[in-house]
A and B are shown apart, each in its own frame.
Chain A
Amino acid sequence: MSKSYGRRRAGEVSDPLIIAGSVLRSRLLLGSGGFHHLDRFEAALAASGADLVTVALRRVEHAPGGLYEAIQRGGARVLPNTAGCYTAREAVHTAHLARAAFETDWLKLEVIGDRRTLLPDAVELLRAARELVAEGFVVLPYTTDDPVLARRLEEAGCAAVMPLGSPIGSGLGIRNPHGIALCREAVTVPLILDAGIGTASDAALAMELGCDAVLAATAISRARDPEAMARALRQAVEAGRTASLAGRIPRLHHAQASTADAGLAGIAGP
């Protein structure tokens, strides 16, 4: 379904998300993590409007099957991830497997540095990004909210940069909005808020901070009603994007009357 942000010419989506030359209709990316029932996933996918859905690769005995087909039935594309990789070497190997399995060069690159927080390992991440870009992958790295690292990843040739709002699955929202705003200033490639979204207002904030898109998995899959939360996040992303383009008013210390004083009705003294 097309959106109608800003000015548009007939028959044209005026504000598409473009990653590596590909036009995406939705600025909400769906992570399939946390879904245990295909029918619930499919309902959430439809409600989210997402064009891109992340998946992981696991041994077939641990992967029930049907997810890849469900994503294609839903009209979306698969964005394989390297979840569970702790070194550049593991991530590159997983990327090769993902390319063979899904016939796509697109990759959500994750190189984790710590099991408790699941925070990215900046050194290994940058190393893997450089290697995979050189091999022709379209690399979307999951990273910290560090503007310097974001710039390094863009310089390495990444197609987008995906800073976290807070730790994966935590639902803590965007703990450092200033860091996300600085990441926005640091790169020209699409900036996608990844990890930490808890509810709709978090997604709207991400867009208001200048992110080009939001990726949500747990916020949807573990909500009491995943389909409704998918719809809410889609609406929040659209609202946040529109607000970002509309330009918010400056924050003031004191009140500024929105009603003119001039012409107030006269009344006899106290």
Chain B
Amino acid sequence: MRLLVNGTERQLPAGSTVRDAVAATGADPDERGVAVALDDAVVPRSAWAQTALYEAARVEVLRATAGG
């Protein structure tokens, strides 16, 4: 299926979860301090492995950077 992960179009196999989308960005899904939004709704880390992705979903994967 086709998804938009951090603004970039990506192909992920059917049945992929939010955790797979995190891994697709190159981030370690077990790294702390990472947040995910699926179509603008925050997905808590505890639900990453159970939350299925779907065609045309927009996923944002974020972490801490210097700021403020």
Contacts and interface: CB of A to CB of B under 8 A. Distances in A.
Interface size class of B (residues with CB under 8 A): 20 to 34
Interface residues of A, number: 41
Which 9 A-B pairs give the minimum distances between C-beta atoms? A56-B67, A54-B68, A68-B33, A101-B35, A63-B65, A81-B68, A97-B35, A55-B64, A68-B64
Interface in A25-72: 31-36, 41, 54-65, 67-69, 71
B20 to A, nearest CB: 14
Contacts of B44: 100
A169 B26 CA distance: 32
B63 A83 contact: no
Contacts of B40: 93
Contacts of B26: 60-61
B34 interface: yes
A12 B42 CA distance: 41
Contact of B6 (A57, A60, A101, A215): A60
Contacts of B33: 68-69, 78, 101-102
A142 to B, nearest CB: 8
Given A56-B68, A83-B68, A97-B35, 11 more contacts: A31-B67, A54-B67, A55-B64, A55-B68, A56-B66, A57-B62, A58-B65, A60-B6, A60-B26, A60-B34, A60-B63
A69 B7 CA distance: 26
B66 A34 contact: yes
Contact of B35 (A62, A98, A110): A98
B53 interface: no
Contact of B67 (A36, A81, A97, A102): A81
Contact of A41 (B36, B37, B60, B66): B66
Contact of B63 (A31, A34, A65, A81): A65
Interface in B21-45: 25-27, 31-37, 40, 42-45
Contact of B64 (A31, A34, A78, A99): A78
A57 B63 CA distance: 5
Contacts of B34: 60, 101
